[in-house]
Structure 1
Amino acid sequence: MRFYHEVLGWTFQRLRDAGGHDYVQALVSDEPVAGLRPHNHSVRDWTLYLSAWDLAATTERARRLGGVVLEPRPHALPGVGAPVLIDDPSGAGVGLLELAGGQAFTAGVPGSLVWVEFVTRHAALADRFFGRLFGYTQRQFGDGHQVDYVVYSIGDDSALGRVRMALDTPADTPPRWIAHFAVHPDVGFNESLRRAHSAGARLRFPPYTSSLGKVAVLSDPLGTRFALIDPSLAAEWEYGSAADDPYDD
C-alpha cells in the first residue's frame, strides 16, 4: 500500500469479503482501480480479472474449454462482485469477475490499469481458449514467428495483448500477466520511474517505446511484477514486451 501510494497516488479503503477475509480496495479520485488482499506466499504478478456477465455460465464454459477452476465457491466482495480464479490451458492463472449491480472498476485514466499483456509460450492454445471463452477477435502484429504479438479485441475495443515468449526463453520460465498502470501526466514517466526506484522497485526490463506509450517493467518491493506506462510518449509500433525480459524468473 505504501509503495503504490508513493508511485501512483492510490488511497485505500478496507473491506471484508463474504467469508470474513480482509480485502483492501485501491482508489484514484475515490474511484476503485485495484484490490489487494493478504497472501501467505510471494506473489509473482498482479491477478487480472476479466469481466463475466454470467459468472456461472462463463466458469462452466472455461471448464469445458480445458480450464481448471481453482475457486468453485467464490467469496463475494461488498460493492465489487463475485470473483473466481481459473488456470487456463496455456498454463497461467486468471480471474473471472461478475461485477455487483451498478459497480465497475475505473480503468484507462492516470494511476489506473490501461493495458495488459499475457506472456506465454503456448500462444496458439491461449488464442483458442480466450477467443472461444470471450469471443475475442484477434489481430496479429509482427511476423508471427520471430515476433508474435496478438491483440485481443471486443468489437472495436482492444482488450489485451498476447505475447509469445521468445523461442530461446528457458523452459522453466512461467507464463505471466503484466498489468500496465498509467503514470500521472503532471508527474511524467522519468519522475514516476525515479519514485518507484526510491520506493524499492527493481527495473526488470529496459524502458521501451511502442504505439501504446513508453513502458518500464518493474517488480515492486515484494517482488510482484507490473509495468508503468506513459501513453503521451507513444510512437510508431515497435515490438517490445516483458517476454524479452533478460531477468526471467
Structure 2
Amino acid sequence: MTETTAGVPNLIDLQTPDSDAAAQFYVELFGRRIEDKAPAGYRYSRTLDGAVIAGLRQTDGDQPAAWTVYLTTNDIARATRHTAESDARILYGPVDVPGQGEVALIADPTGAITGLWQPRPGWRFASHTPGAFAWAELLTPRGSVADDFYARLVGLGSTQIGNADTYDYAVWTPTGHQAPVAGRHQIVAHDGGPAHWRVYFTVDPAIGTDQVLTNALRLGATLVAEPSDIPAGRVAVLADPAGAQFALLTPAPRT
C-alpha cells in the first residue's frame, strides 16, 4: 500500500481527450470502480476500501493521451527549485490539493513529464494488487542524464542491470530502501519516440497476462509488444483506445 519514502511512485494518472470512454475501458478491463466527475473534472479509481488506484483527467484534445507517474517528495518546494535550477521545466504547480497533498508537474532534462507528489498523512495508494500499480520505468534516450537528475531530485540511486551497451537498463532505489521502485530504460530516440514513463499494472496470476491482453484487444486496445517472460514475470505492452501506452505484468512466483 502507501509508501512515503522520497522517490517512491505514490500516484499515477491518465490524461485523455475522452475521460468517459477511458473510464469505461479501464473499468471493463480491470473491474475497478471510478468516481463520478469532480467539479474540476478530476476523478479517482479506488479499491473497495478507498485506496487510490489512479487518477483520471480530461485534456482539451491538443495533448496526447498518456499515463503520468508521480514520485513522492518530502519537500516539494525544494524539488521544484531544483527543477528550475536544472535543465528541466516546471509545467504546473506546486499547488495544494485540499486534504490530500501538494502536486507539481515537470518536464525532466530528457523531456519526460513527471509528477511530484507530497502526500498528506492518511493518503493511501494501492499497488501490487490486481488492476493496480505494479512498476514504472522511464524510457529515455539519455539514460545517464536521467539517472543524475532523479538522484538529485528525490534521492533515487541507480544500479545498472543491463550491459550498458546493447541493453542499457538501470533500476532506481531510494536512499535507505532495500528494493528498487522504478526502472530506467535507455532507448534510441527515433525508435522509441520521446522520453516517457511506462506504467505496469498488476495482473491476477489466476487470469494471466495473455487473457487480460485478449480482453483489452476486444475492448479496442492495440498491441505494442507481444507477451514475453522476464525475471519479474510475464509482460505485454499495449495502448488503450485513445493511444495511451501501458503494460501488464503477471508477477513471477516468489521463491
Q: 8 Å contact 2:72–2:154 — kept in the other structure?
A: no
Structure 1 residue 185 displacement after superposition? 2.9
28 and 172 in structure 1: CA distance in 2 versus 1, 3 angstrom threshold: closer
2:172 is matched with 152
Q: Which amino acid aligns with 2:179?
A: D
Shift of 1:159: 1.4
In 2, the alpha carbon distance for the partners of 1:182 and 1:135 equals 26
- Stretches of structure 1 that go unaligned for 5 or more consecutive residues are 236-249
Aligned length: 229
Match of 2:120 among 74, 80, 100: 100
Instruction: Identify the residue that residue 204 of structure 2 maps to in structure 1.
Output: 184
Task: Select between 143-152 and 101-110 the one with higher mean Cα deviation.
Answer: 101-110
Aligned-pair CA distance for 1:234: 8.6
Amino acid at match of 2:31: G
Q: Which runs of 5+ in 2 are unaligned?
A: 1-22
The answer to whether the Cα contact below 8 Å between 2:205 and 2:251 also exists between their aligned partners in 1 is no
Secondary structure in structure 1 of the residue aligned to 2:213: helix
Retained in 2: the 8 A contact 1:9–1:28? Answer: no
How far apart, in 2, do the equivalents of 1:104 and 1:129 lie?
A: 27
Using structure 1 for the length normalisation, give the TM-score.
Answer: 0.85
Please tell me whether residue 22 in structure 1 is matched to residue 41 in structure 2: yes
Range moving further from structure 2, 141-150 or 6-15: 6-15
Contact 1:28 1:111 in 2 (8 A): no
Say which of 152, 165, 168 aligns to 2:187.
165
Please state if 1:89 is matched with 2:109.
Answer: yes
- Contact kept in structure 1, 2:198 and 2:246, CA below 8 Å: yes
Aligned position for 1:5:
27
Question: Which is worse superposed, 181-190 or 156-165?
Answer: 181-190
Q: Which amino acid aligns with 1:26?
A: S
2:64 counterpart residue number: 43
What amino acid is the match of 1:143?
A: N
Aligned pairs for 1:195-206 within 5 A: 195-206=215-226
Deviation, 1:44, is 4.0
For the aligned residue pairs, the C-alpha RMSD in angstroms reads 2.0
Tell me how far apart the structure 1 counterparts of residues 129 and 100 of structure 2 sit (CA, whole Å).
19
* Cα displacement (A) at 1:73: 4.7
How far apart, in 2, do the equivalents of 1:55 and 1:222 lie? 31
2:105, 2:113 within 8 Å by CA — same for their partners in 1?
yes
Is this contact kept in 2: 1:47–1:95, CA < 8 A? yes
Structure 1 residue 8 displacement after superposition: 1.2
User: Which residue of structure 1 lines up, in the alignment, with residue 4 of structure 2?
Assistant: none
Counterparts of 1:36 and 1:186, CA distance in 2: 28
Q: Percent identity?
A: 32
State the Cα deviation string for residues 71-96 of structure 1 (Å, max 9, x = none): 1352x435532211001011111010
What's the TM-score once normalised by structure 2's chain length? 0.83
Residue 163 of structure 2 is matched in structure 1 by 143
Equivalent residue letter for 2:40: H
Shift of 1:125: 0.8
CA drift of 1:100 comes to: 2.3
SS at match of 2:204: coil
Structure 1 residue 46 displacement after superposition: 0.2
Give the counterpart letter for 1:9 in structure 2.
Answer: G
Partner of 2:86: 65
Q: Which amino acid aligns with 2:157?
A: T
